[in-house]
């Protein structure tokens, strides 16, 4: 049973030393009870207290790390079922499969493509996190050759590894070649559990547990834990998409709502679709619905970019909106006569405006004025998008060197700013449409 904040407080040193980052021991205790922080943040906690608190202080879903260094993947430690309740914290890892039965040139080609699956979107770097090496040959030598080959290619250092085989001997040989990269071993099943657990334990590697049902999964996870493996990844087996979503939901829900320890680990889901397009939509479903790692075969950018983008969307903190860099954006072949529009630096607002301006085919400058990433009306109401802030942007962004006129178009919703803005900035203000969708016709009418 989970302990209350007061129960936990009784076990703490009660010195209010603040080294945990909280003002008092009581405040720290409350945070532990709410599963927001780990007990290890307290440097003075006694062994006794540690044991008593062990279960209460552990987050309901363990944070598991695969790989080492900067590109390591951390998954788990989620706290909610729906992103609007708080946020989803650790973006699902996206893994691309490479099989040892493919011929050498195909493997090289795939690796080359996988290495290119990194993109920049809305100011963030997004990319594939793992390469899943599957022993489809059933032969130890073939598989270890593949692992060696991957090792030799220093370019793949930014990708973490999954070693896939249910033959413990093969996994053992492969793991010995790359344990310094901290690969995920996939997978322990009811038939090989002891041997796989021994390899994971000996090398301190994360271990995936694969079962055919939730019952079996729970049983195997408990066995692995009691044998001393700490970092597990759960796989409830191949199902139809809805069955898989249901399993992933149960695993997450039982871990969060019931502190059900056997399911207190991140999950992995393999796409079961035989066909490219269905693989994409299936993987998309698992990214949205709780998978910690999703394994796909696709290596083309048009297959992978939508999934990386979906992950970026789903794991965006709803409380911290994505922002674009506040600066001048040039849309189309702008000249010194082109219209100048201003909006806020909330990325959704900015990109909506940008898309409409692009659609209008009227070259324009868009100034994204810093407004703490709020939308136009919200920023205006919060006084983050005012005559003063817009004037500041106009003065600092360098637009004066780019255009020969002094006219600025503001969003229709803040028409009320016109007078003040003209006064502050010395620019002539023209009021644009309220909705971005009105921009194409508005911009076209300017040209007449």
Give the interface with other proteins as residue ranges (CB under 8 A): 82-84, 116, 119, 121-122, 214-215, 218-219, 239-247, 249-250, 253-254, 257-258, 260, 262-263, 273, 277-278, 280-282, 284-285, 288-289, 300-303, 305-307, 309-310, 312-314, 316, 318, 348, 351-352, 355, 358-359, 437, 440-441, 444
Nearer Cβ to other proteins (295/299): 299
Nearest-approach distance from CB 129 to other proteins, in angstroms: 18
Cis-peptide, bond into residue 187, ω within 30° of zero: yes
When the beta carbons of 162 and 353 are compared against other proteins, the nearer one is 353
Could you tell me the smallest distance in angstroms from the CB atom of residue 82 to other proteins? Answer: 5
Q: How far is the CB of 95 from other proteins (least distance, A)?
A: 18
| Beta strand extents in 345-431 (DSSP E only) | 364-369, 407-410, 428-431
Cβ neighbours, 10 Å, residue 85: 10
Shorter beta-carbon distance to other proteins: residue 184 or 296: 296
Q: Minimum CB separation from other proteins for residue 284, in Å?
A: 5
* Rounded CA separation 245/70 (Å): 31
Is the Cβ–Cβ distance between 208 and 188 less than 8 Å?
A: yes
How far apart CA 136 and CA 157 sit, in angstroms, is 23
Q: How far is the CB of 424 from other proteins (least distance, A)?
A: 30
Q: How many CB atoms lie within 10 A of CB 327?
A: 16
Given the complex with other proteins, which of 255 and 429 has the nearer CB atom? 255
Distances (CA, A) of 105 to 62, 110, 427: 39, 9, 62
Of residues 367, 366, 364, 368, the one with CA closest to residue 335: 364
What minimum distance in Å lies between the beta carbon of 2 and other proteins?
Answer: 16
What are the CA-CA distances from residue 257 to residues 60, 236, 254, 395, 443 (Å)? 9, 19, 5, 53, 53
Q: Which is nearer to other proteins, 106 or 116 (CB)?
A: 116
* Nearer to other proteins (CB atom), residue 228 or residue 243: 243
Q: How far is the CB of 260 from other proteins (least distance, A)?
A: 8
Closest CA to 35 of 73, 86, 74, 69: 86
* For other proteins, the closer CB: 97 or 234: 234
Burial 209-234 (b: 16+ CB within 10 A, else e): bbbeebebbbbbbebbbeeebebbbb
């Amino acid at each position: 049973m989970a302990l209350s904040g007061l129960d936990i407080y009784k076990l703490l040193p009660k010195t209010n030393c603040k080294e945990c980052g909280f003002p008092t021991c009581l405040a720290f205790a409350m945070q532990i009870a709410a599963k927001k922080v780990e007990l290890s943040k307290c440097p003075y906690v006694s062994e006794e207290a540690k044991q008593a608190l062990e279960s209460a202080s552990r987050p309901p879903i363990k944070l598991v790390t695969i790989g080492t260094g900067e590109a390591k993947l951390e998954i788990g430690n989620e706290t909610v079922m729906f992103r609007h309740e708080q946020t989803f914290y650790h973006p699902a890892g996206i893994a691309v499969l490479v099989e040892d039965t493919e011929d050498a040139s195909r493997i090289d080609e795939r690796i080359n493509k996988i290495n290119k699956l990194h993109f920049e979107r809305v100011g963030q770097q997004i990319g594939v996190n793992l390469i899943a090496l599957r022993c489809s040959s059933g032969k130890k030598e073939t598989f270890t050759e593949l692992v060696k080959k991957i090792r030799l290619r220093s370019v793949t250092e930014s990708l973490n590894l999954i070693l896939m085989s249910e033959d413990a001997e093969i996994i053992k040989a492969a793991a010995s070649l790359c344990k310094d990269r901290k690969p995920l071993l996939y997978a322990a099943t009811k038939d090989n559990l002891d041997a796989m657990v021994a390899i994971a334990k000996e090398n301190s590697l994360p271990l995936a547990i694969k079962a055919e049902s939730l019952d079996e999964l729970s049983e195997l996870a408990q066995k692995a834990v009691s044998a001393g493996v700490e970092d597990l990844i759960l796989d409830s087996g191949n199902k139809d998409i809805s069955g898989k979503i249901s399993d992933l939901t149960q695993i997450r829900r039982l871990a969060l709502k019931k502190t059900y320890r056997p399911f207190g680990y991140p999950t992995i889901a393999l796409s079961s679709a035989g066909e490219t397009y269905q693989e994409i939509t299936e993987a998309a479903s698992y990214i949205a619905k709780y998978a910690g790692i999703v394994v796909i075969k696709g290596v083309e950018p048009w297959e992978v970019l939508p999934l990386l983008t979906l992950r970026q969307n789903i794991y965006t903190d709803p409380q911290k909106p994505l922002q674009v860099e506040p600066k001048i954006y040039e849309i189309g072949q702008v000249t010194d006569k082109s219209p100048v529009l201003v909006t806020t630096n909330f990325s959704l607002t900015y990109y909506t405006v940008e898309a409409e301006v692009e659609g209008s085919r009227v070259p324009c400058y868009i100034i994204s004025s810093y407004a703490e990433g709020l939308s136009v009306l919200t920023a205006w109401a919060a006084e983050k998008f005012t005559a003063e802030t817009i004037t500041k942007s106009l003065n600092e962004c360098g637009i004066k060197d780019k255009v020969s006129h002094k006219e600025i178009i503001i969003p229709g919703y803040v028409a009320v700013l016109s007078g003040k803005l003209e006064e502050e900035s010395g620019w002539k203000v023209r009021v644009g449409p309220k909705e971005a969708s009105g921009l194409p016709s508005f911009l076209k009418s300017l040209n007449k």
